[in-house]
Amino acid sequence: MAALSDTLNRPARDGRPRVVAIGGPTATGKTALSVALAKRFGGEIISADSMQIYKGLDVGTAKATPEEMQGVPHHLLDILPPEEPFSVAEFTARAGALIADITARGGLPFVVGGTGLYITSLLGGVRFAPQPNDPALRAALQARAAAGEGRALYDELAAVDLDYAGTLHPNDENRVIRALELYRLTGRTMTQQRAASRPETPPYRALCLCLSCPDRAVLYRRIDSRVDNMAAAGILEEARLVYDHRDSYRTAAQAIGYKEFFPYFEGAATLAECTAKLKQASRNYAKRQLTWFRRQTDAVWLDFTDPGLEAQAARLVEAFLAGAPAQQLT
């Protein structure tokens, strides 16, 4: 099917740009579906993945290959060296500018990835005002984490902000520390600050498609198979690169896909043991992703094992672009 008419790719009647988001756990086929839909509807893809922004980290982040992209423009991939931090505020600013540009050129923006915080913050129009910081306090918290108190810091965050803590892995020390720092400086939790930062009307008219399947075992087998494919594609070499630069690649050194191999490089575990650990960590991550996306009450859930998935998703996008109310699509 050719791209839809210019009428359907115009902003919604209230002037808000239209956006299609595709989220869900790892290994559910988000890339393949998004490429198929983008080709069908004249779209471009904005990556919503907190690790795929980094150059040189391709296998462990499951970055789409040029062959998988099939000529569809992809944005926010390979934009930073691994030494540089990247925040959700930076993501929403860059993605927002891309949405405006793609829409102005008559295209349909597809926001695709497994970082739920990126997608919900973007679609919800979360405003990121300048936040106070205390270098001394942050250094003290980082020192505790370096001394092996990472879990204790996570528990302290959970005690004051269980909702936000539930969206983080206990090893995500950067975000745990930042949330504790803000709480101690302002007396407000990250959850409270984000609730206050949301506008009454979201900036986009969005359709959010989420992929999963009724049988969790099917998803877990897909994850295990993906890890095996990553091993064959050279994830160990990437993990070694991250390990050798772990002091400067701080975000990557904490990411699933790399840190699981550190014990192997240190002679503390076999390669098979580390690979099994990566499979388990990836399955646990998928559970957290499912929990996050299920909080989005306006999401439309699709079974990624359904042979008619692409056709079903295309019908939903067509109805969305034709102006169908959101409640009729969920």
In the chain, where does the domain assigned CATH 3.40.50.300 lie? 6-128+197-329
Q: Which CATH number fits domain 6-128+197-329: 3.40.50.300, 3.40.190.10, 3.40.190.80, 2.30.40.10?
A: 3.40.50.300
| Mean pLDDT, residues 137-163 taken together | 95
Give me the chain's average pLDDT, please: 92
| Mean pLDDT, residues 263-282 taken together | 98
Residue 1 pLDDT > 50: no
Structure tokens at 45: 């893809």
Q: What per-residue confidence (pLDDT) applies to 53? A: 97
Q: Which residue has the higher pLDDT, 131 or 207?
A: 207
Q: What per-residue confidence (pLDDT) applies to 160? A: 97
| Mean pLDDT, residues 150-175 taken together | 93
Q: Confidence band (pLDDT; 50, 70, 90) for 103?
A: very high
| Mean pLDDT, residues 45-71 taken together | 97
**Fold (CATH) for 135-196:** Histone, subunit A (1.10.20)
In the chain, where does the domain assigned CATH 1.10.20.140 lie? 135-196
